[in-house]
Amino acid sequence: MTVRAIVRFPDPALRTPCEPVAAFDASLRSLADDLLDTMRAAPGVGITGPHIGILQRVTVIELSRDDGARIYVNPVILSASADMHRYTEGSVSMPGVTEDIERPARIRFRYQTLEGEMREDDATGFLATCIQHEVDQLDGIFWLQRLSRLKRERAIRRWEKMQRA
């Protein structure tokens, strides 16, 4: 297990759609372990392969240490509710910058386990937001793209100012 370097905004890897994982082997388990260690060190509640420059569809989410880490391989959102909710989002690739984003309150999604077993599940609340956020990242959609142009430009200016400081 290793803490890896995190790719920082505006690196092109953060806007590149990821390839599906095909090999469910020891290297995938090692990648998942590294993602978890890197996310905890950041700190964050979610991380994907692209955040460390690996363009594969793997994400790790840990809302709390008590709940434990959830690893999703090749996740896809199947359906989303019409009712929406708003949470503050950010990225381990852009630490210190957050904004409120509105997303569907409930989702149904499909993913594979580290062993390659196909599963479907439902998520609500903050977990639903986190899964949507990380699936966006795996699809090459950085979280800023969910903001209005004005909010996105303000967030980028804040980030650039932080980088100069």
**Residues whose CB falls within 8 Å of the CB of residue 68, separated by 6 or more in sequence, listed in order:** 62
Over range 149-157, report the average pLDDT. Answer: 97
**Residues whose CB falls within 8 Å of the CB of residue 101, separated by 6 or more in sequence, listed in order:** 86, 87, 88, 89, 129, 133, 143, 146, 147
- For residue range 62-108, list pLDDT tens digits in order: 999 998 999 999 999 999 999 999 999 999 999 999 999 999 999 99
The Cα 122–Cα 152 span in angstroms is 30
pLDDT band at 165 (very low <50, low <70, confident <90, very high): confident
What proportion of the chain, given as a percentage, has pLDDT over 70? 99
Give the residue numbers annotated as catalytic, written as ranges: 134
**Whole-number Cα distances in Å, 96 to 34, 48, 122:** 22, 18, 30
Asked whether residue 143 carries a pLDDT value surpassing 90, the answer given is: yes
**Residues whose CB falls within 8 Å of the CB of residue 152, separated by 6 or more in sequence, listed in order:** 144, 145
pLDDT score recorded for residue 115: 98
Report the CATH architecture of 12-164: Alpha-Beta Complex (3.90)
pTM, 2 dp: 0.96
Domain boundaries, the chain: 12-164
Over range 121-141, report the average pLDDT. Answer: 98
- For residue range 1-25, list pLDDT tens digits in order: 699 999 999 999 999 999 999 999 9
